[in-house]
Amino acid sequence: MLSTPAPAPAADLDALLAALRQPPPLSQPFQEVRFRRALKAPLVTSGTLAWLGGLEFERRIETPYRETGVVSGRTLVVRRDRGAERIIPLARAPELQVLFGGLSALFGGDVQALREAFEIELEGGETWRLLLRPRQPALQARVAQLELRGSGGEARCLVLQQEGADTLTVFTDQPLDLAAGDFAAVVDGQCPQP
């Protein structure tokens, strides 16, 4: 069991946020694993996540299916090989709102926006764990927190946990080792631990 992390000293947090700041465009390969009740085995996907500045993202999934999701302001447009494109207002998809809102503020180094939208906790030093808890009650009810893990100025893991649905995104192009079995063990095996 992890103890509740203490609120981050402002100086450490500011230093980390400054280090995480990146000029757009930013493109990173990722491997993602989803643990779902409905699935017999965890589903692994891979692709690239590009940040184009502000609330503009492009998430491409290459395997095991192909999908392009473009976030632009208030909407997400999803295109797949088959079927019509789907337009999803972010206001109707709390997990995406938390995910992309958090990443946008982190990469953009917008400390003020980040503090307005989230309650922030930082744990560790050289290797660290950053917890972002949405302040909006509607979001909080659906997504309790967004967890980032990394070392130095580099974010490596993104953890999003919901009832019956756990997702780990690792910014790497190397296949993930899922031998550990359960979600928490997989996260600890893949991500830096503070």
Partner 1 sequence: MKARDAALAAIVALLLLGAWAASGLRLGSDLARFMPDARDADQRLLRGELGSGPASRILLLAIAAGDEARAAGLSRELAARLRTDPAFAQVLNGEIDESAMLATLMPLRFSHSPGMDVARFDVDGLYEVLLERLADLGGAGGEAFDTLLAHDPHFLTLALAESWQPLQEPTLRDGVWFTGNGEALLLVQTEAAGFDPQAQAAAIATIRSTFETLAGNDATLLLTGAGSFSARMSERVAAEAGLLGGIALVSLVAMLLLAYRSALFLLASAVPMACAAAAGVIALRLGFDEAHGITLAFAFTLIGVAQDYPVHLLSHLHPGVPPAVAARRLWPALRLGVASTAVAYASLFSGQAEGLAQLAVFTIAGLLAAALVSRYLLPQVLPMPRRDVLHGPGFRRWAQRLDGIDGGLWPLLPVLLLAGVALIAGGQRNWWNNDLSSLTPLPQEWLLEDMRLRAELASPDARHLLLLSAADREGVLRLSESLAPRFDTLVEEGVLADHSLPSRYQPSRQVQSWRLSKLPTPEVLRAALADASEASGFDAAFFEPMVQDVAAAQAPDAAARIAAAQADGPAGMRLAAMFREHQGRSVALVQLSGLQDPQALEAALDGRPDARILDLKAVAEGMVADYRSRVVSGLGIAAAALLVLLCACLRPRRAIRVLPPVLLGLVATLAVLRLAGVELTLFHLIALMLAAGLGMDYALFFNHADSAGSRARTLHAVLISAASTLLVFGLLGASSIPVLRAIGSTVAIGVAAQFLLALCMSGAAQRRTADD
Q: Please, what is the minimum distance in Å from the beta carbon of residue 53 to partner 1?
A: 22
Q: Please, what is the minimum distance in Å from the beta carbon of residue 169 to partner 1?
A: 10
Give helix 94-108 / helix 10-20 axis angle, nearest 10°: 90
Tell me if 89 sits within 8 A of 154, measured CB to CB. Answer: no
d(CA 107, CA 22): 5
Q: Please, what is the minimum distance in Å from the beta carbon of residue 187 to partner 1?
A: 16
User: How many residues does the structure list for the chain?
Assistant: 194
Tell me if 13 sits within 8 A of 109, measured CB to CB. Answer: no
Q: Which amino acid is at 3?
A: S
Stretch that binds partner 1, among 88-96, 119-127, 149-157, 175-183 (CB under 8 A): 88-96
Candidate residues 6, 39, 84, 87; the one interacting with partner 1 per rule CB under 8 A: 39
Gyration radius of the chain over CA positions = 16
Q: Smaller CB distance to partner 1: residue 142 or 156?
A: 142
Q: Please, what is the minimum distance in Å from the beta carbon of residue 179 to partner 1?
A: 18
d(CA 150, CA 194): 9
Segment 136 to 175, residues that bind partner 1, using CB under 8 A: 136-138, 142, 162-165, 167
- Helix or strand (DSSP H, E) at 115: helix 111-117
Q: Please, what is the minimum distance in Å from the beta carbon of residue 163 to partner 1?
A: 5
| CA distance readout (Å), 57 to 18, 48, 107, 147 | 21, 11, 11, 19
Size of the site for partner 1 (CB under 8 A): 37
Q: Smaller CB distance to partner 1: residue 11 or 39?
A: 39
**Coil vs helix vs strand at 66:** coil
Site map for partner 1, 91-120, x if CB under 8 A? Answer: xxxxxx------------------------
What residues line the site for partner 1 (CB under 8 A)? 32, 34, 36-41, 43, 45, 61, 65, 67, 69, 76, 78, 80, 82-83, 88-89, 91-96, 135-138, 142, 162-165, 167
